[in-house]
Structures are given as structure tokens and as C-alpha cells.
Amino acid sequence: MSSARIRIAARLIAVAALAALTAGCFHPMYAEHSDGTPGLREKLMGVEVPPVDKPNASREARIGVEIRNALAFKLYGNATGMPPTHRLVLRFTTSRSSLMIDPATALPTSENYGIDAQFNLIEIASNKSVMTGTTFSRVSYDIPGSYQRFARTRAFRDAEDRAAQEIADNIQTRLASFFSAGT
């Protein structure tokens, strides 16, 4: 056997040995625990998501409901979870800016919509904050035709909904990481 083949075989044996050593360290996030401790799904179902504090009948109140509903579905899989162990307090601000303006009409043809959110996870038993975080979402939308105000309104609402879904995804991922790793 040549020395090149011996080196390749030694490298393969080293890689296989390292893989065998780390194989026991891997544990899927959503796996059931055999020792009786609650799994990630049960921990997420214990997070209460109260309504967002925004003025009634405002555009931001609708977005707050959209974020809350998306989070509830991602955490529980339905409208309600288990008895709460944690409470998630959410605050957010929105922004809107024109990206392109039609020079003939001076009306926007493309706009950007953004949500900046801050969240705080509070343990109910001790009323102590255990995790805080921020996230954001920026989505753009086109306005088909400069005088189509209903199409513009619908495009804006769709952008709000997409941004709210993205915020809910980001928060759910961060909560899953917290409950899985404990940090």
C-alpha cells in the first residue's frame, strides 16, 4: 500500500472517530424527552401572548392582532395553549417610506413598510423577566398604476400582513432557541 493511501485511510478513520464522538451530542429541538421533562412543544404552549397595547380601531391595532394570531398559531398550533408559565409582552412601531416616485404624477410607485418590535418574556411564577429581544421586518410593495388607490390600499395591507408574519416567525424562533438551550 502506498503512503498516499495510508494517509487517506488515516484521515477517514479520524473523521469517522470524530463523527462517532459527536453523534451522541445531537438532540433535535422538537424531540420528545424520555426522562419525563417537558419537550419544547409543551414549553412553547405555556407562553401566554396577551393583546398588544395599541389604540382601538387603529391600523397598528390590526397589525398587533395579526402578530398575536400568527404567534399563537406558531406556538400552540391553535388559539389557546396550556396553563401559562410565561407571558410574552410585545411592543412595536411601524414605518412607511416611498422608494420610487413617478416623475410625471409625483405619486409613489414602490414603497417600503417596516415593523420594529421589542419583546419581553416574563416568568409568571416570579414575575421576573427571563429574556428580552428585538426584531424587525422590512417588506416592499409595488403600486400598480398611479391612480389605482384601491390597489395601493390592498398592496399596503398585504405588506403589513407579510411583515407581521415575519415578526411572528422571528419571535417564535427566538423563543424556541431560549427554551431549547436555556439562554
Query: For 16-43, what is each residue's pLDDT tens digit?
Result: 877 776 666 656 666 666 666 667 888 8
**Sign, CA torsion 41/47/48/49:** negative
In a domain, residue 15? The reply is no
Distances (CA, A) of 56 to 68, 71, 131, 168: 15, 20, 28, 21
2 CB-near residues (< 8 Å, 6+ apart) = none
> Which range of residues forms the domain containing residue 128?
39-181
Q: How far apart are CA 173 and CA 179, in angstroms?
A: 10
Mean pLDDT of the chain: 85
In a domain, residue 23? The reply is no
CB 147 within 8 Å of CB 138: no
Left if phi > 0, otherwise alpha if psi is -120 to 50, otherwise beta: which for 135? beta
Quickly tell me which residue has 420594529 as its cell. Answer: 116
In a domain, residue 93? The reply is yes
Residue 53 has pLDDT above 80, yes or no: yes
By DSSP bridging, strand 47-48 and strand 86-101 are parallel
DSSP E strand stretches across the chain: 47-48, 86-101, 108-123, 128-142
In a domain, residue 24? The reply is no
In a domain, residue 27? The reply is no
Fill in the amino acid letter for 112.
N
In a domain, residue 34? The reply is no
Its pTM stands at 0.78
How large is the average pLDDT for residues 43-48? 89
In a domain, residue 79? The reply is yes
- The count of domains in the chain is 1
How large is the average pLDDT for residues 87-114? 87
CATH of the domain at 103: 3.30.160.150
* Integer Rg of the chain from CA: 24
In a domain, residue 14? The reply is no
Does 168 or 104 have the greater pLDDT score? 168
